[in-house]
């Protein structure tokens, strides 16, 4: 509560009591959950964001008279072996004083260009650090170590096409189709593809690299008599600051250079101002996507105000945003500074490799060459302004031209999604908290009693002994091994939560070791940082430290983390990090990490390093073991996709949050981290039955599918629901399980080239402009399955946008739908139905025998579903491996390509491998008994109507199997069922209609 103003009267005790009671009563009528927005900064409260926005406003106000202070003397520029190197000179004052900024532009073999700018004095450690801080003097240059895993080989075939005193043009990329046009004064770069400009750096002159300068301490001016205690008059502070640092122009605001206070916490800023900012323009592009995590539309909004726009920049500063709001650029739990721009038949992108707090402004400007054109032919330019508090200016530029090209190039740099544990793409049952081992067993029994499939049950923080991780509450979890064995009988798993805050308690072995080994994050004075989280007073593991990672790994060994088994996996929460009594609910920025990097330098990486430590720890938990980890994280950065899954955090049980989840998950997928999901049912609150049912229907198409609930929410396991809702949810779950082979194949592609698992229309149909702004429907992998979850109360129809001229069928009824390219199709969607279409031309695998868990389906036979295209053809694939080990890296997998041409369906080895020469491991041997059971052909050609059999040829044998043909009627397409086929799933075979 704010303090009373000077001279105001204080309320009487009686009024104080009345006002308190009134406030309590009012609170009863406010919404149950609202984000505490005052806990988090707006741009004007973040000194470096405010300064750089003001810098941009000043440049815009000056217009053509604005002169950007950055230039490259031609004599300080050179190009050799695929790299352009130069020194940018920044003019800092009217006297011509300069700062040297080394520039390297690397042209990579992948066709990606990398632009890196450093600061010479900091690079050479030729600066003074204030407050006797041990912080590093350089700009943080180790984000690459964590985020980048490849793709940095330089293209020595890149060549200069033109060079002069004013600039240089360098051709690079496939067939030298790309060009970087580097202008020297003022410094800027245009990136072109086939002669046309697609991306511009610093074309608006907003580049700003805050160089090091000493703080000149001046004594405060003596006050005249009568001025003691008075507040400074308006303008007096800025005049005083100007006197302290004469080199600063009147445009610069020094008030937050040397320290900054927010929410009662003061940041000491020992290195002074050090932000980096750059404008990046996408000429001719109206849609930009990416930069998760935010709760807003997939196509990013403008951020400089105006109707329907945001007034704040998109913020990337990983935070524990308890009860977040929707349709907002406000920061959330993770940060991936990767943006893509889309126009018809062209996709480009940029990756801003910086782990510090970052803000991104987005504006869009329509322009037309003909002022009389009245908008006809006018193109839209999207302007973005990237602002980070510290670190290098390090930008990767991707010129596409397709969404798949962009995704693949980004994945070459940051890695791809880890091949998952197969169980992890099943359904996860979670709440805060299952209260005992008996509770866990009872939930498991009831899921079986009601024939509801699931794979994993989760334990939140209450399973521990007084919030001490790696321990169990001895009263409530008396026999965790018995619990684990009970789950294992049906192939089910247990996930336990392990957070990075370690309870500061004597006699707790984890805390004792953390402190004695010196592996905790330090405060600015070099002592172990002490903050407040779930356990109360806590320390934080510094997962940037190799020694800390090694120690952390030892804690997960089965003989150390007693009570865990081979079916126990891990959940990392609160790893932003969340610090309840810290600034913006996180660590002070002047905390110190391994290598004496300040927390401000690495904040957005912090969650990833903890996720990485747990991933490394769970690769092997006993001698001789090597398995794929499953680790869920809340906080993430570029590269986190290599380590596991994420979820969208503390959502609410509301229709609005159900709707918001889809664009959030789509944004994750196109940004390289597709193993994502949202808490099904909503974490906070109690969903009504219709909402819960619709959420399970949507969740069945999230890559990560978990139901979760707050400790104060009512129990809502699916078996507790009244009919028909229990059956509706069970049907959604069974649909997910039947399609697990298709989902696993989609994960394989994500692992192969970084492609999204669920795909927005702009990604699948980059020529169809009508789909660029659509973010409430999507395709599943390459299956051709098009999903439009219902996310509105009482809605019984769904309008699905059709992006092409292909034929579409209803998944459940086989109805051939009357579709028109570029138009909406309205389908019936009663509460028991999921709007799900099959696009013609695709084949996808299923497993149709209902089981309790994915583990029990492991050696079931397959069904192939063929959706015949307009041209009478279809194709698809299946990828399968043991779902647990890394033996797939040794060729122990099955990858089949299915193709329908004419009246013949075939299965061949998708990669052309000679699998007969492959030495089969135990899993492949067991898969010899797994076959294709049935083939369902939807849209079966009419000449098949009189056919009764199909000839199957495989492995030198020929047999006849029945064909059951159903003619088209009542709007339903003709379909045929072939089976039992009996051909081995791993063998070549053909099925010919006799």
240, two tokens: 């005083």
Q: Are 453 and 853 in contact (CB under 8 A)?
A: yes
Say which of 389, 473, 542, 573 is annotated catalytic: 573
Token digits of residue 76 = 């300080």
* Angle at the Cα of 520 from the Cα atoms of 515 and 524, rounded to 5 degrees: 115
- Assess contact for 349 and 340: CB atoms under 8 A: yes
Query: Largest Cα–Cα distance in the chain?
Result: 109
- Computed from CA positions of residues 211, 214, 217, 221, in that sequence, does the dihedral angle turn out positive or negative? negative
Active site residue 95: no
Residue with tokens 């300069």: 98
Q: How far apart are CA 797 and CA 774, in angstroms?
A: 17
Whether cis (ω within 30° of 0) applies to the bond prior to 559 is no
Q: What phi and psi values does residue 159 have, to the nearest 5 degrees?
A: -145, 155
Task: Judge if the upstream peptide bond of residue 17 is cis by omega within 30 degrees of 0.
Answer: no
Query: Peptide bond preceding 564: is omega within 30 degrees of 0, i.e. cis?
Result: no
In terms of Cβ atoms closer than 10 Å to its own Cβ (0-12, 13-18, 19+), residue 401 is middle
The one catalytic residue among 210, 455, 576, 875? 576
Contact 143, 394 (CB under 8 A): yes
Report which DSSP code applies to 945.
G
What residues contact residue 317 under an 8 Å CB cut-off, 6+ apart? 331, 335, 357, 358, 584, 603, 604
| Torsions phi, psi for 122 (to 5 deg) | -70, -40
Question: Which SS3 state, helix, strand or coil, does residue 192 take?
Answer: strand
| SS3 annotation, 344-412 | CCEEEEEEECCCCCEEEEEEEEEECCCCCCCCCCCEEEEEEEEEECCCCEEEEEECCCCHHHHHHHHHH
CA 646, 546, 134, 247 torsion: positive or negative? negative
Residue 110: half-sphere exposure toward Cβ, Cα within 13 Å: 22
**What is the C-alpha to C-alpha distance for residues 207 and 279, in angstroms, rounded to an integer?**
6
Q: Which residues contact 566 (CB under 8 A, 6 or more apart)?
A: 558, 621, 627
Task: List, in sequence order, every residue forming a beta bridge with 743; answer none if it has no partner.
Answer: none
Q: Identify whether 848 is a catalytic site residue.
A: no
d(CA 732, CA 735) in angstroms, rounded, equals 5
Q: Active-site residue among 155, 455, 473, 650?
A: 650
Write out the two tokens for 315: 């913020």
Alpha-carbon 57 to chain mean position? 31
d(CA 95, CA 249): 12
**Cβ contacts of 162 within 8 Å, gap of 6 or more:** 168, 169
573 among known catalytic residues: yes
Give strand ranges (E) for 831-892.
836-839, 842-846, 862-867, 874-881
Check if the beta carbon of residue 535 is closer than 8 Å to that of residue 580.
no
Residue bearing tokens 């992890």: 424
Number of neighbours of residue 441 by Cβ within 10 angstroms: 16
Structure tokens, 218 = 């001046």
Task: Find out whether 117 and 392 touch, Cβ atoms under 8 Å.
Answer: yes
- Alpha-carbon distance of 306 to 584, in angstroms, equals 28
DSSP characters over 670-686: HTT---EE-EET-SBS-
Establish how many alpha carbons lie within 13 A of residue 60's alpha carbon, considering only the half-sphere containing its beta carbon. Answer: 10
Which positions are annotated as active-site residues?
573, 576, 650
């Amino acid at each position: 509560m704010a303090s009373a103003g000077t001279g105001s009267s204080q309320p009487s005790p009686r009024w104080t009591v009345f006002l308190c009671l009134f406030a309590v009563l009012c609170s009863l009528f406010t919404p149950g959950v609202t984000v505490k927005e005052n806990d988090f900064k707006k741009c004007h409260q973040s000194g470096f964001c405010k300064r750089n926005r003001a810098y941009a406003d000043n440049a815009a106000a000056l217009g053509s008279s604005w002169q950007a202070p950055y230039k490259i003397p031609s004599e300080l520029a050179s190009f050799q072996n695929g790299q352009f190197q130069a020194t940018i000179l920044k003019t800092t004052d009217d006297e011509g004083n300069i700062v040297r900024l080394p520039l390297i532009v690397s042209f990579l073999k992948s066709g990606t260009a990398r632009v890196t700018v450093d600061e010479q004095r900091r690079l050479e450690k030729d600066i003074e650090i204030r407050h006797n801080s041990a912080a590093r003097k350089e700009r943080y240059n180790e984000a690459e170590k964590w985020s980048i895993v490849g793709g940095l080989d330089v293209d020595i075939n890149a060549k200069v096409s033109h060079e002069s005193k004013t600039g240089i043009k360098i051709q690079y990329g496939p067939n030298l189709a790309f060009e970087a046009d580097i202008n020297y004064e003022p410094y800027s770069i245009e990136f072109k593809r086939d002669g046309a400009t697609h991306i511009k750096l610093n074309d608006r002159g907003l580049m700003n690299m805050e160089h090091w300068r000493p703080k000149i301490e001046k004594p405060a001016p003596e006050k005249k008599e009568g001025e003691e205690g008075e507040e400074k008059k308006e303008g007096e502070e800025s005049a005083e600051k100007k006197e302290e640092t004469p080199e600063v122009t009147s445009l610069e605001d020094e008030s937050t250079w040397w320290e900054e206070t927010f929410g009662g916490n003061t940041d000491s800023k020992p290195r002074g101002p050090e932000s980096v900012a750059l404008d990046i323009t996408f000429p001719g592009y109206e849609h930009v996507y990416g930069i998760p995590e935010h709760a807003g539309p997939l196509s990013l909004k403008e951020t400089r105000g105006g109707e329907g726009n945001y007034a704040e920049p998109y913020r990337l500063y990983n935070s524990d945003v308890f009860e977040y709001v929707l349709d907002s650029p406000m920061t959330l739990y993770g940060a991936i500074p990767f943006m893509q721009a889309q126009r018809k038949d062209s996709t480009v992108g940029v990756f801003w490799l910086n782990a510090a707090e970052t803000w991104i402004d987005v504006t869009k400007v329509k322009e037309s060459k003909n002022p009389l054109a009245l908008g006809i032919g006018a193109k839209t330019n999207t302007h973005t302004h990237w602002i980070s508090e510290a670190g290098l200016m390090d930008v990767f530029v991707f010129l596409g031209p397709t969404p798949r090209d962009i995704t693949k190039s980004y994945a070459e740099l940051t890695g791809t999604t880890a091949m998952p544990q197969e169980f992890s793409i099943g359904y996860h049952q979670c709440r805060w908290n299952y209260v005992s081992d008996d509770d866990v067993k009872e939930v498991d029994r009831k899921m079986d009693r009601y024939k509801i499939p699931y794979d994993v049950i989760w334990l939140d923080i209450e399973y521990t002994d007084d919030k001490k991780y790696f321990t169990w509450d001895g009263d409530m979890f008396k026999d965790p091994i018995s619990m684990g064995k009970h789950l294992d009988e049906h192939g089910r798993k247990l996930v336990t939560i392990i957070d990075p805050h370690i309870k500061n308690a004597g006699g707790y072995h984890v805390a004792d070791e953390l402190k004695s080994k010196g592996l905790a994050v330090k405060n600015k004075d070099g002592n172990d940082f002490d903050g407040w989280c779930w356990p109360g007073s806590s320390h934080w593991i510094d997962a940037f430290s190799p020694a800390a990672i090694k120690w952390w790994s030892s804690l997960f060994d089965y003989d150390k983390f007693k009570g865990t088994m081979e079916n126990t996996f891990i959940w990392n929460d609160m790893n932003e990090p969340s610090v309840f009594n810290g600034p913006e609910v996180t660590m002070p920025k002047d905390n110190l990490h391994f290598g004496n990097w300040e927390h401000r330098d690495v904040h957005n990486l912090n969650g990833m390093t903890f996720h990485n430590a747990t991933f490394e720890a769970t690769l092997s938990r006993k001698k001789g073991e090597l398995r794929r980890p499953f680790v869920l994280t809340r906080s993430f950065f570029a590269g986190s996709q290599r380590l596991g899954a994420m979820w969208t955090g503390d959502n609410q049980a509301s229709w609005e949050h159900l709707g918001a989840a889809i664009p959030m998950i789509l944004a994750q997928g196109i940004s390289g981290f597709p193993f994502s999901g949202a808490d099904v049912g909503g974490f906070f609150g109690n969903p009504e039955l219709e909402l819960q049912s619709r959420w399970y229907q949507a969740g069945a198409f999230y890559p990560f599918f978990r139901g979760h609930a707050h400790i104060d929410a009512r129990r809502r396991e699916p078996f507790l629901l009244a009919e028909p809702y229990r059956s509706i949810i069970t049907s959604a779950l069974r649909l997910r399980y039947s399609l697990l082979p298709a989902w696993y194949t989609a994960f394989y592609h994500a692992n192969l080239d970084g492609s999204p698992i669920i795909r927005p229309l702009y990604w699948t149909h980059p020529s169809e402009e009508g789909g660029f702004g659509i973010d409430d429907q999507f395709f599943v992998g390459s299956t051709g399955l098009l999903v439009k979850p219902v996310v509105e109360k009482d809605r019984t129809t769904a309008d699905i946008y059709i992006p092409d001229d292909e034929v579409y069928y209803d998944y459940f009824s086989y109805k051939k739908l009357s579709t028109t390219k570029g138009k909406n199709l309205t389908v019936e969607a009663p509460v028991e139905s999921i709007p799900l279409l099959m696009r013609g031309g695709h084949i996808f695998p299923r497993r149709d025998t209902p089981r309790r868990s994915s583990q029990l389906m492991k050696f079931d036979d397959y069904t192939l579903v063929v959706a015949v295209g307009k041209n009478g053809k279809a194709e698809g694939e299946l990828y399968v491996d043991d779902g647990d080990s890394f033996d797939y890296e040794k060729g122990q997998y099955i990858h089949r390509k299915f193709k329908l041409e004419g009246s013949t369906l075939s299965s061949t080895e998708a990669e052309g491998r000679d699998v007969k020469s492959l030495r089969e491991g135990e899993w492949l041997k067991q898969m010899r008994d797994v076959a294709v059971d049935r083939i369902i052909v939807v849209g079966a050609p009419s000449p098949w109507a009189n056919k009764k059999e199909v000839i199957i040829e495989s492995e030198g044998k020929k047999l006849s199997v029945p064909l059951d043909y159903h003619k088209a009627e009542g709007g339903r397409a003709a379909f045929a069922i072939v089976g039992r086929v009996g051909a081995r799933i791993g063998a070549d075979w053909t099925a010919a209609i006799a």
